[in-house]
Structure 1
Amino acid sequence: MLLYEHPLSSYAQKIKIALREKGVPFRAELPESFGTGSLDGPFAAANPRTEVPVLIDGDVTIFESTVILEYIEERWPEPPLLPRDPAARAFARVTEDVCDTQYEAVNWGFGEILWFKRATGDLAERMRAEAAAQTRTLQDWLTKRLGAADWFGGPGFGWADAAVAPMLNRSFHYGLGPETGSPLALWHARVRERPSVEKTFAEFDAAAARMAAASEMYTTGGRRREYRDHRLEWMIKSGGVEVVLAGLRDGNIRFPWPGGTH
């Protein structure tokens, strides 16, 4: 089984954690054309959006991380990641959705400034401050959902925990993690000890250490960062309209299929 992925992708990390929790063997591969927007080759054939993750299980090809996660849960039901109770299942899915949209966008936008220097000077400071404030809001929301429990999924690790883990871990990487000793910080410490998460986070750390060297490739147009839906919304509402316009002018950002070849 093949998983097209990038170790920095929070969506791909979620899938790797789920597969490893269930003991499902897979081969992870960074597509050669990743970030180019090219519609040629096996990666684009598997996902015309040319986004990771993509899961190829024999004759089955699936993209979109939530759909992949649902497939994994149904294909390998043990151990279950979703609880049986409908309300608890909905709770897990809502948690995942907020992480995949709002939280991922904030993390991604902060990375655009930190790694790719999309903004500098006063603009960069303002956008970093916006990201920090939004991160605190999201972490407060997650803290309330966690409550006094050890896991977002209830008595044991589950679907919501797999979704939150990559998002919160990136906040720690950026220096935006919750206060030491807080319920969310203690949850992060617990989740890091799980072998599935420990391995996934180690892959993230190794890739993050190489980002400074790779940043020029993205800002010169060799590869282009994808500005789509919630990410584009984040840039605009957080004061980065000129970042988007500069990216269009310089040809170092892109939008997803169909079209999106700017």
Structure 2
Amino acid sequence: MILLYEHPLSPYAQKVKIALDEKGIGYETRVPDGIGVGGAQGEFAAASPRLEVPALIDGETTLFDSTIILEYFEDKWPDPALLPIDPAERARQRLIEDMLDTHFEAIIWGLGELHWFKRGKGDLAGKMERAAKEQIAAYHRWLEQQIGNAEWFAGDRFGWGDLSTAPYINGAAGFGYEPPQGSRLSDWLGRANERASVASANAAAVAAMSGMESIAGAVDAGMFKREYRDHRLEWIVKSGGLAIVEAGLQKDNIRFTPPPA
């Protein structure tokens, strides 16, 4: 049985769970101990030296990084395929994934910093929220262009682009930023959320959000450290939150990717 180390709120982990469900592969999930403070150890740390979810253990095979894990699934369990046959179209699905993983994810993460962890207050929070709203709207428009008039991002079949997009669009909707009603993207999201794989991942994320605001005190006290990796740090700075980074460094309640143990 595959073991997947994850957290329900991680869109990266959600992608992997959706893919497993779409391929009909059995798996067990586990949330790593100590992941919120950067102190995870043992089997998970050995599988994921960046101390990030998701991490996959399949017998003697250990993998981290959601994209690499998805590629492993396609190689080992090619049917049903999540990528189309045409090379150019396969590349386009990966481009959609990369845009969301390395840009859109940072916006959702940043909204979590504001809403759940109370990193910014007053005018600063308002300024960053407005930036997030504008950025999300831009990505909604871009995704609308990518799907065109098709049912799914690759045409008539749910696949890589869809499972890579759904966790992020649902995450933004959780903060009140849904695709415009009547848009093709909104219609697509309705179809995606009707699929058992997407519905299951989203339901787990919604359940995990319960009580998240109560953790702000633990963050402020340095008991819980959020990871400010590459694109997330960029988003905070370019959206006006450099003071948040400086305060986090002073309070020691942010962390960066560690070297392998």
Q: In structure 2, what is the equivalent of residue 205 of structure 1?
A: 206
Q: In structure 2, what is the equivalent of residue 162 of structure 1?
A: 163
Q: In structure 2, what is the equivalent of residue 125 of structure 1?
A: 126
Distance 1:248 1:89 in 2: 41
Aligned-residue identity in percent: 51
Instruction: Render the CA deviation track for 1:223-243: whole Å, top value 9, x for unaligned.
Output: 210001000000110000000
Cα drift, residue 19 of structure 1: 0.3
What secondary structure sits across from 1:79 in the alignment? coil
Kept after mapping to 2: 8 A contact 1:7/1:13: yes
Number of matched pairs = 259
Structure 1 residue runs without a partner (length 5+):
none
Distance 1:256 1:95 in 2: 25
Q: CA distance change for structure 1 residues 90 and 183 in 2, over 3 Å: closer, same or farther?
A: same
What secondary structure sits across from 1:61 in the alignment? strand
Q: In structure 1, what is the equivalent of residue 51 of structure 2?
A: 50
Segment drifting more, 210-219 vs 242-251: 210-219
Segment drifting more, 220-229 vs 207-216: 207-216
Q: In structure 1, what is the equivalent of residue 228 of structure 2?
A: 227
Q: In structure 2, what is the equivalent of residue 86 of structure 1?
A: 87
Query: What do you get for the CA RMSD once the two structures are aligned?
Result: 1.1
Distance 2:138 2:27 in 1: 36
What secondary structure sits across from 2:162 in the alignment? helix
Quick one: which amino acid aligns to residue 43 of structure 1? F
Distance 2:219 2:15 in 1: 24
Quick one: which amino acid aligns to residue 23 of structure 2? K
Kept after mapping to 1: 8 A contact 2:32/2:40: no
- Superposed, 1:141-220 pairs within 5 Å as 141-220=142-221
Cα drift, residue 178 of structure 1: 1.2
Q: CA distance change for structure 1 residues 175 and 39 in 2, over 3 Å: closer, same or farther?
A: closer
After TM superposition, the score normalised by the length of structure 1 is 0.96
Q: In structure 2, what is the equivalent of residue 33 of structure 1?
A: 34
After TM superposition, the score normalised by the length of structure 2 is 0.97
Distance 2:216 2:164 in 1: 26
Q: In structure 1, what is the equivalent of residue 9 of structure 2?
A: 8
Cα drift, residue 39 of structure 1: 5.7
Cα drift, residue 131 of structure 1: 0.4
- Superposed, 1:61-80 pairs within 5 Å as 61-80=62-81
Kept after mapping to 1: 8 A contact 2:55/2:62: yes
Q: In structure 2, what is the equivalent of residue 250 of structure 1?
A: 251
Instruction: Render the CA deviation track for 1:121-168: whole Å, top value 9, x for unaligned.
Output: 000000000000000111110000010011012111000000000000
Quick one: which amino acid aligns to residue 143 of structure 1? E
Cα drift, residue 213 of structure 1: 2.6
Instruction: Render the CA deviation track for 1:32-83: whole Å, top value 9, x for unaligned.
Output: 1212222632221221110000010011000011001100111111110000
Structure 2 residue runs without a partner (length 5+):
none
Distance 1:72 1:218 in 2: 36
Distance 2:108 2:188 in 1: 19
